[in-house]
Structure 1
Amino acid sequence: MTLPVAHSAPAAATIDAVTARQIDESVALRAASSGRSKGELIEMLSARFLGTPYQANMLVGSATQPEQLVIDFRRVDCFTYLDYVEALSRSTDRDQFVANLIDTRYAEGRVEFRQRKHFFSDWAHTPKVAADDITAALSPAAVTVAKHLNAKAGGGTYLPGVPVVDRAISYLPSGTVDQNVVGQLRTGDYIGAYTNEAGLDVTHVGIFVMTPNGPVFRNASSLVENNKVVDSPFADYLRTIPGIVVFRAR
């Protein structure tokens, strides 16, 4: 069973019954939570995905294949997970969710491959801005690197049909993320795993959540032992990556 969703965008979404029910339950919960902060909403809504199976490359579209508006809560990759949570945090009904998802995932609200926010830093640099980059403000140890996003070190691009974007990326080396830094993080902050690889800003994304047992990195994990949305101890995750990029939702 599928439920078509009409939208003014050039691509229409087809939503399966499981996803439709989860959207309706989530937006109803959001609508009843008017007193919560943005971070609390992100935590509450992201928790509903815990245990959801991981599936790589959920989005459909390329320079030669028409972009599709994918909305599927039955399985997620790390980026679609954040797309859904951010859009849900702004929505109180299904139509509003679809519109907000388009604005979160695509620049200028156009469902096109070239307009897709392919890089994590696009969230803070392309319309409509979903979050603010607070990385450099968290510590004087922040490092800023000039990146040529989408350009491979040996020539060519990761995403044919998408232009190379010159962008300064700030990150905190993992060894500098001390208690002072962690103390400034808030539940609901979006965390990117910085990469030294040319042409990329991050290799993975998730959500910072402070729990009674300490901070966790809530993420759609592709690790064999997980292969689903999980809460990983934040300190443990830090030890596996070069550094972090921190965005705070608007």
Structure 2
Amino acid sequence: MSDQAVLLVGGRGTRLGALTADTPKPLLPVAGRPFLSHLVERLAGYGFCELLLLTGYLAPEFEAFQADWAGRGVTVTCRVEADPAGTGGALHLALPDLAPEFLLLNGDSLFAIDLADFAAPPLPPGVDGRLALRAMPVADRYGTVQLDQGRIVGFQPRTPGAGPGLINGGVYRLRRDAVAHLSSFPCSLEADFFPKLAAAGRLEGRVFDGYFLDIGIPADFARAQADFAPGGQAVNGKSTKE
């Protein structure tokens, strides 16, 4: 298993308003330290010690974070996206740095799954990616995922008033060769890349029930302060709230 993990941390975080005017969303303080530190600590605990940050908005702010982790047995490298090209474009820019198979995570959410278990089985022939999925009792804030016998067969956009459904948990296992085929930018992994892989039958999905939180809106950013504190829901890995 490759010990490389790639984190998407280049977004603007506009839904958080003034909070992200001077600080990238993944570096916002949560329970006394940058949210990204919680992710990196968890990754290191599962043996992922080669980390690649795909930065864009306020990229220089990540230099102090990078230096802070130097000497802790974790190598943090940054690749800067000079012009916004979407999540797919940012990943394509990083092609020279990618392992043949790598773990990819959204830098503004935590899904408390066993990352080693998720990543360890090699992607089988004919499959270019694997997504970690979460069952939600109310999925109206998220797009939903259709799963059939372990293969993802489709995606549905956000639907107001939607009931229960499977959502994309923001944790992926991907082949570098599949990323190399991206050619039109800007490109979104969620809206462009993954649906094409699903239509071709080349995308796996695995369902997990661990704690999940995306800090992208003010209410959930506020909730994170308690959940990530000692003894909180994120530390325990389970959530009683959605």
The TM-score normalised by the length of structure 1 is 0.26
Relative contact order higher in (CA < 8 Å, ≥ 6 apart): 2
The TM-score normalised by the length of structure 2 is 0.26
